[in-house]
Amino acid sequence: VTVSSLGPQEKVPALQSPPRGAGGKQKKEKHKKDKEEKKREKKEKKKKKKKKKEKKKKSSSSSSEGSSSSASSSSSRSKKEKKKDKKQKKELEAEVEKKRRKSADEPG
């Protein structure tokens, strides 16, 4: 392998990566942002878990929960949609369960 054939190959990676001074800083900033976002996501997940536990407790009085969340209209809409999704999921699970029972009843 001659030096002239290696030349262009060596130039390509140098063009791709920016100079250390400028590029490095941006990378660090981005990493910082990612970390903060991850932290936020963890917090949100924790909140959601807590809410799920609360919902289990007051599954009978779900209407009161709806009225308390109506203060913030933007979130109440998404909550309603989530409730719809939950309902559909439950119905789907019920159907699957019925099918499963049927197949279990039928021999073979």
pLDDT digits (tens, 9 = 90+) for 6-40: 555 555 545 555 555 555 555 555 666 677 888 88
pLDDT digits (tens, 9 = 90+) for 47-65: 766 655 555 555 544 444 4
Position 62 scores a pLDDT of 46
Under 8 Å between Cβ of 80 and 69: no
CA-closest candidate to residue 62, choices 73, 51, 72, 71: 51
Under 8 Å between Cβ of 54 and 68: no
Does the pTM surpass 0.75? The reply is: no
Ramachandran category for residue 5: left, alpha or beta (phi over 0 → left; psi -120 to 50 → alpha)? alpha
Torsion of CA 66, 69, 64, 49, to 10 degrees: 90
- Backbone dihedral angles phi then psi of residue 106, each to the nearest 5 degrees: -75, 125
pLDDT exceeds 70 at position 103: yes
pLDDT band at 70; cut points 50, 70, 90: very low
Q: 59 by DSSP, 3-state: which?
A: coil
